[in-house]
Amino acid sequence: MTSISSRIKFRHLQCFIETARLQSVGKAAKNLSISQPAVSKTLRELEDELGVKLFERTGRSIRLSGYGEIFQRYAGASISSLKQGVDLVAQARSTGGFRIRIGALPTVSTKVLPNAIAAFKQQDSDTIVEILTGENAVLMSQLQLGDLDLVVGRLTRPERMLGLSFEHLYTEQIGLFVREGHPLLAKKPFVLEEIANFTVLMPGKGAVIRPTVDQFLTANGFGNFSDVIETVSTAFCKTFVRETDAVWIISHGVAIDQLDAGMIVELPVDTSTTTGPVGLTMRTETPLPLPAQLLVHHIREASQI
Q: How confident is the model over 249-297, as pLDDT tens digits?
A: 999 988 988 998 999 999 999 999 999 999 999 998 888 887 888 999 9
3-state SS record for the chain: CCCHHHHCCHHHHHHHHHHHHHCCHHHHHHHHCCCHHHHHHHHHHHHHHHCCCCEEEECCEEEECHHHHHHHHHHHHHHHHHHHHHHHHHHHHHHCCCEEEEEECHHHHCCHHHHHHHHHHHHCCCCEEEEECCCHHHHHHHHHHCCCCEEEEECCCHHHCCCEEEEEEEEECEEEEEECCCHHHHCCCCCHHHHHHCCEEECCCCCCCHHHHHHHHHHCCCCCCCCEEECCCHHHHHHHHHHCCCEEEEEHHHHHHHHHCCCEEECCCCCHHHCEEEEEEEECCCCCCHHHHHHHHHHHHHHCC
Q: How confident is the model over 30-79, as pLDDT tens digits?
A: 988 999 999 999 999 999 999 999 998 877 778 899 998 888 888 877 77
Write down the pTM of the prediction.
Answer: 0.64
Give all domains of the chain, ordered by start, each with its CATH number: 4-83 (1.10.10.10), 97-171+277-303 (3.40.190.10), 174-274 (3.40.190.10)
